[in-house]
DNA sequence: TTGAAAGCGCTAACAC
DNA sequence: GTGTTAGCGCTTTCAA
């Protein structure tokens, strides 16, 4: 079916080796032979067999990305954009991207990571949504398997990562609302166990404390990162006394849920109650009102994560294996005008 | 590094061949030997090398999915959900999923398809967002390369596909609005060139005609599938006379854009102006107001597409190579009450 | 019941 | 410059 080196060799009446080296452009092949080789390769439509090359080189040329997703209908735009980032960068370096999805901490996830470290499945992995005591990272480190994480962890392993400074981001967001005059601010935190959630929560708590603002119990609730979750928790928050003048969510999707539920209750977001999010997913620029949030360059983060991974796979140690990006505050209408 | 058949053979003092067959469970291996083999394999943590197996079997065990995306910040939730569907189904059958992204009709896209058909890159492809005169499908058909499309085309090739009946879906949507009393309905169509856009447009036009409702020029505008696009076109639509009482969009993302822009202009969606979408992405259940739309089971479609592809790769001809699913109308508040 | 040998398509060390 | 040979790890005839 497909044209192989052997076919070319037969056609040209020379050895397979010479053909191989001619194609690779080695300079120990007569110039004229080179030309003849490349010519017939072209003519016969030769394409090297990647599997064979991989076997020989003991490399797969494939990067793995295991998405930690809950049920099937997840729609966190984070993932599409992140995949685009790593995928395009991988393609630039002639790597392919293998994607699989597993619920976090599930058996399937464990098996897949196990497979990665024990058989020659992929050359390296990209890990996202790092967790406290992250078993994936422990495994990868123990096996000395090439990977880069988007996010840090709290254990003692030293590993390459790209991360955004969630704490700094959340500080900026909270301070913005405090500067607008808000004193009663409720917070919907990401699920505990996720490192970035922890940083965002800390950013909230510290900034409130720094400004001498108490955070009574019940003013911090734990969400599930979904829009529905944000909507439901809004009910609890509206029952607080005094009623919060601002609600901040640990991610944009939850913030959207909050806005919608508030509107259903007849509140005008940005006037009656202010809302803030985190991520700056493309959607929130066009909501009504547009959402004040913290911008993360997800595509760019994907690109850099992938780039670092490829460096590691190729045996180059990355210039800076611990990249921490500072996200920026994006003020839109949902945070409203200064209040009394 | 990794344990190979050779290692096992040496350890056991038997031949590689026997080990291989023992592991595969051939019944021409002494039961006792079988046990010893499996035992040491377990003990030494043997995992077969996939690349070697692939080379031998002349199969990659990989399915390819080339996402047609525009710029980096695409966030159509369609893709995340679709990937989850095909990915999980692929995993069930021990296939991996390779994902790459390219702008539609770009050079990169062409090269990638070319690569798929000429070298042993993947065992089969999944094609989405079929186009008029779709070059990808023509190429795949000519090379007799295994693939399944989500969507049909207008040319003469006969190929396996899964599709939802966009025309029927749009008919249901339009009829719903007409039944509510709307006579002046504007439509934002998907970009021309995409097959599903064509069906949705036809569904709109035919249903209007069937109900004796004229559609003056300017009442159908072409959108780009994004929220921003929907928002911007809303301006044009609001300038029409008489002002439309309902605006229908070719997908949910655009419908969201429409709703938001209407709200910015002070309209109450579902009262002053009704809005309808298409896709039922998870987001729109929780918008304010929730969006009336046509539900497509994207995850399920991904699953079935993948399933059919695996059948084809394995040489089983699919029971039904032309699956057409009828999407369902989901009525929510954005379509409002019957009007005069 | 087991083993030797060939071969998948490619690369690379080492002759000639 | 070019060819011979070996080998990546696995599966599969074919003999023994």
pLDDT digits (tens, 9 = 90+) for A273-313: 999 999 998 889 989 899 999 999 999 999 999 999 999 99
Calpha distance B81→A158 (Å, rounded):
34
Q: Which residues have a Cβ under 8 Å from the Cβ of B262 and sit 6 or more positions away?
A: B234, B238, B247, B269, B272, B273, B275
* pLDDT confidence of residue B296: 92
pLDDT along chain A (340 residues), means of 10: 86 91 88 90 89 89 90 75 91 91 92 86 95 96 95 94 97 98 97 95 98 96 94 97 97 95 95 97 90 95 96 90 96 94
Mark out the alpha helices in B148-282 (DSSP H runs).
166-179, 195-210, 227-238, 252-264
**B2/C4 CA-to-C1' distance in Å:** 25
Q: What is the mean pLDDT of chain B?
A: 93
* pLDDT confidence of residue A70: 74
The answer to whether B83 contacts A97, with C-beta atoms less than 8 Å apart, is no
The answer to whether A257 contacts B79, with C-beta atoms less than 8 Å apart, is no
Q: What is the mean pLDDT of residues B197-212?
A: 98
- For A80-90, b/e burial (b = at least 16 CB within 10 A) is bbbbbbbbbbb
A9 C-beta less than 7 Å away from strand C: no
Other residues' Cβ atoms within 10 Å of the Cβ of residue B251: 27
Residue A178 has φ and ψ, to the nearest 5°, of: -65, -40
**B53/C1 CA-to-C1' distance in Å:** 25
The answer to whether A118 contacts B76, with C-beta atoms less than 8 Å apart, is no
User: From the DSSP assignment, how many helices (H) and strands (E) are in chain B?
Assistant: 12, 12
Picking from B49, B74, B96, the nearest residue to A120 by CB comes out as B49
The answer to whether A287 contacts B77, with C-beta atoms less than 8 Å apart, is no
Per-residue pLDDT tens over the stretch B303-312:
999 999 999 9
The answer to whether B286 contacts A257, with C-beta atoms less than 8 Å apart, is yes
The answer to whether B80 contacts A77, with C-beta atoms less than 8 Å apart, is yes
Q: What is the CA radius of gyration of chain B?
A: 26
Burial of B212 (0-12, 13-18, 19+ CB in 10 A): exposed
Hey, what domains does chain B have and what are their CATH numbers?
A: 5-48 (1.10.260.40), 57-163+298-323 (3.40.50.2300), 166-296 (3.40.50.2300)
* pLDDT confidence of residue B171: 98
Chain C bases near protein CB atoms (7 A cut-off): 1-5, 7-13
Question: Is A318 an 8 Å CB contact of chain B?
Answer: no
Using C1' positions and the CA of B17, the closest nucleotide is: C3
Question: Is A121 an 8 Å CB contact of chain B?
Answer: yes
Question: Is B120 an 8 Å CB contact of chain A?
Answer: yes
* pLDDT confidence of residue A117: 87
| CA closest to A144 among chain B residues | B1
Q: What is the CA radius of gyration of chain A?
A: 26
* pLDDT confidence of residue B77: 79
* pLDDT confidence of residue A276: 98
**B5/D10 CA-to-C1' distance in Å:** 8
Chain D bases near protein CB atoms (7 A cut-off): 1-5, 7-13
* pLDDT confidence of residue A73: 67
Picking from A74, A87, A227, the nearest residue to B101 by CB comes out as A87
The answer to whether A101 contacts B108, with C-beta atoms less than 8 Å apart, is no
C-alpha closest to that of B219 among B242, B194, B195, B253:
B242
- Size of chain B in residues: 340
* pLDDT confidence of residue A340: 73
C-alpha closest to that of B339 among B272, B256, B260:
B272
pTM above 0.75, yes or no: yes
| pLDDT above 80: residue B340 | no
Mark out the alpha helices in chain A (DSSP H runs).
5-12, 16-24, 31-44, 50-57, 77-92, 107-118, 135-142, 166-179, 195-210, 227-238, 252-264, 298-313
Q: Could you tell me whether strands A293-295 and A328-330 are parallel, antiparallel, or unpaired per DSSP bridges?
A: antiparallel
Per-residue pLDDT tens over the stretch B261-277:
999 999 999 999 999 99
The answer to whether A283 contacts B256, with C-beta atoms less than 8 Å apart, is yes
Question: Is A23 an 8 Å CB contact of chain B?
Answer: no
Write down the residue that tokens 């991360």 correspond to. A163
- For A52-77, b/e burial (b = at least 16 CB within 10 A) is bebbeeebbbbbbbbbbbeebbbbbb
Calpha distance A131→A150 (Å, rounded):
11
Calpha distance A165→A328 (Å, rounded):
10
Per-residue pLDDT tens over the stretch B158-176:
999 999 999 999 999 999 9
Question: In angstroms, what CA-CA distances link B81 with A69, B299, B323, B329?
Answer: 10, 6, 19, 20
* pLDDT confidence of residue B238: 97
For chain B, positions 80-119, list CB contacts with chain A under 8 A: 80-81, 83-85, 87-88, 91, 96-101, 108, 115, 118-119
Q: Which residues touch strand D (CB under 7 A)?
A: A 14-18, 21, 28-30, 32-33, 52, 55-56, 58; B 2, 4-6, 16-17, 20-21, 23-24, 48-49, 52-53, 55-57
**A2/C8 CA-to-C1' distance in Å:** 13
Q: Beta partners for A322?
A: A161
For chain B, positions 289-308, list CB contacts with chain A under 8 A: 299
For B24, the enclosing helix (H) or strand (E) is helix B16-24
- Provide the angle, in degrees to the nearest 10, between the axes of the packed helices A31-44 and A16-24: 90
Tokens of A198: 């922890």
Question: Is B57 an 8 Å CB contact of chain A?
Answer: no
Calpha distance A29→A20 (Å, rounded):
10
Q: For an interface test with B, give the residue of A223, A288, A291 to mutate (most B CBs within 10 A).
A: A288
Contact A323, A77 (CB under 8 A): no
Question: Of B18 and B76, which is predicted with more confidence?
Answer: B18
Q: For an interface test with A, give the residue of B7, B63, B72 to mutate (most A CBs within 10 A).
A: B72
* pLDDT confidence of residue A1: 61
| pLDDT above 70: residue B73 | no
The answer to whether A120 contacts B288, with C-beta atoms less than 8 Å apart, is no
| pLDDT above 70: residue B122 | yes
């Amino acid at each position: 079916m497909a044209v192989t080196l052997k076919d070319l060799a037969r056609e040209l009446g020379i050895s397979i080796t010479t053909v191989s080296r001619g194609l690779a452009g080695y300079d120990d092949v007569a110039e004229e032979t080179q030309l003849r080789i490349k010519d017939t390769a072209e003519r016969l439509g030769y394409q090297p067999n990647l599997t064979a090359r991989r076997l020989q080189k003991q490399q797969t040329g494939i990067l793995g990305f295991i998405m930690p997703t809950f049920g099937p209908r997840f729609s966190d735009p984070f993932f599409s954009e992140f995949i685009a980032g790593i995928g395009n960068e991988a393609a630039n370096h002639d790597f392919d991207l293998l994607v699989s999805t597993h619920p976090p901490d599930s058996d399937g996830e464990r098996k897949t990571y196990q497979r990665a470290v024990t058989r020659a499945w992929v050359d390296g992995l990209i890990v996202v949504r790092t967790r406290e005591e992250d078993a994936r990272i422990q495994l990868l480190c123990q096996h000395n398997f090439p990977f880069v994480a988007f996010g840090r962890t709290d254990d003692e392993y030293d590993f390459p990562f790209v991360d955004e400074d969630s704490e700094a981001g959340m500080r900026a967001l909270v301070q913005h609302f405090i500067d607008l005059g808000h004193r009663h601010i409720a917070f919907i935190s990401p699920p505990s166990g996720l490192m970035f959630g922890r940083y965002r929560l800390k950013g909230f708590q510290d900034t409130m404390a720094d400004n001498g603002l108490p955070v009574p119990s019940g003013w911090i609730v734990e969400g599930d990162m979904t829009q529905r979750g944000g909507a439901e928790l809004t009910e609890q928050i509206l029952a607080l006394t005094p009623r919060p003048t601002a609600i901040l969510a640990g991610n944009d999707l939850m913030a959207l849920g909050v806005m919608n539920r508030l509107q259903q209750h007849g509140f005008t977001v940005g006037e009656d109650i202010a809302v803030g999010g985190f991520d700056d997913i493309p959607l929130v620029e066009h909501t009504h009102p547009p959402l004040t949030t913290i911008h993360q360059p997800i595509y760019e983060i994907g690109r850099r994560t992938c780039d670092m991974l490829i460096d590691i796979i190729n045996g180059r140690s990355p210039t800076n294996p611990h990249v921490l990006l500072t996200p920026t505050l994006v003020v839109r209408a949902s945070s409203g005008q200064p209040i009394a």
